[in-house]
Amino acid sequence: MALHRLASITIGVPNVEETSRYYAEFGLARDGATFSTTDGGKQLCIVKSPTRRLIELCVGADDFDDLDRVAERLTALGVPVERDAASLRAIEVHSAARAVVKILLRVPQLSTAIAPSNGTGRADRENDRAPGILREGPIRPRKLGHVVIGTPEPEASRRFFVDGIGFKVSDEVRGVAAFLRCSSDHHNLLLQSSPVAFLHHTSWQVDDVDEVGRGAMRMLEGHPERHTWGLGRHFIGSNFFWYLRDPAGNFSEYYSDMDTITDDQLWKPGTWEPSLQALYAWGPNVPPSMLTPDDLADLMAASHQN
């Protein structure tokens, strides 16, 4: 595909410094208001905003022809486009997010050696303890995997990102959510129906389920209020997950083992009816705040003032 990765995001929050300290503790390398992952480089910027929201989403493309095609599609949709030598910008008006498509090098992820695991009737690891229980180093997310936003006009937002920017549809929950990809990951952007635009969560890849668990437990030490949902496994996307809450009210997710789509002809997008089965295969009961934000009334009031 012409698009090849979710490069970075900029999020707005009312409490920049408090939220920044959280993401540094979460495992991202901090340089002022910018945060990096081990494989993806600078992938998060936190700026001041009256409410929590996604301000910008940057996607990598291969060359100038890719930019030309995106510009043509957006123009056909009636979307104004700003263009320079190596990038273009356009606003998705319903979520108020700025989409940037930029010519960027592809960033291959080097494999991390995961030691053999034992299973029923087989012992691939003998006479040794599982390395997952012996790890002591800090959690370092490998890359930004996806971002989830609420939009009051999900069909219009979907047209912008799919018909305009060039995302592909991986799966959908009818009338509720669309899972979109700009890479081989199952999804890099999830659009969910909401009465107001807001940032639901960001998701960060770690090596395996042990890192998901270790990361979450370390974040909860002394801060039980950060816990939101986990450990569990999603049905759509198949990834292990654990969600925490940042000081601005956004969720941040450690994840591993997500579905990969390298051949569009071999993947059949599914359309699921709204149900908990579509949301997760196993895990704790989903908390109400995952479906309806605790601060939804405040977000709606703020949107009417703008």
Residue 306 confidence (pLDDT): 64
CATH for 3-107+141-305, options being 3.40.1480.10, 3.10.180.10, 3.30.70.1880, 3.40.50.2300: 3.10.180.10
The Cα 48–Cα 250 span in angstroms is 14
pLDDT tens, 212-264? 999 999 999 999 999 999 999 999 999 999 999 999 999 999 999 999 999 99
Residue 7 confidence (pLDDT): 98
pLDDT tens, 179-225? 999 999 999 999 999 999 999 999 999 999 999 999 999 999 999 99
Cβ distance 5 to 182 under 8 Å? yes
The Cα 96–Cα 102 span in angstroms is 19
**Element of type H or E holding 214:** helix 209-220
Residue 183 confidence (pLDDT): 97
* 1, pLDDT greater than 70: no
Residue 144 confidence (pLDDT): 98
The Cα 57–Cα 60 span in angstroms is 10
**Among candidate residues 289, 241, 254, 223, the one with its CA nearest the CA of residue 21:** 223
Residue 91 confidence (pLDDT): 98
pLDDT tens, 117-163? 899 999 999 999 998 889 999 999 999 999 999 999 999 999 999 99
**DSSP summary character for residue 249:** S
* 170, pLDDT greater than 70: yes
Do β-strands 82-83 and 87-92 pair in parallel, antiparallel, or remain unpaired?
Answer: antiparallel
Q: Provide the residue ranges of all domains of the chain, joining segments of one domain with +.
A: 3-107+141-305
pLDDT tens, 30-70? 999 999 999 999 999 999 999 999 999 999 999 999 999 99
Residue 177 confidence (pLDDT): 97
**Element of type H or E holding 221:** none
* 277, pLDDT greater than 90: no
CA 161 to chain centre: 15
Cβ distance 149 to 192 under 8 Å? yes
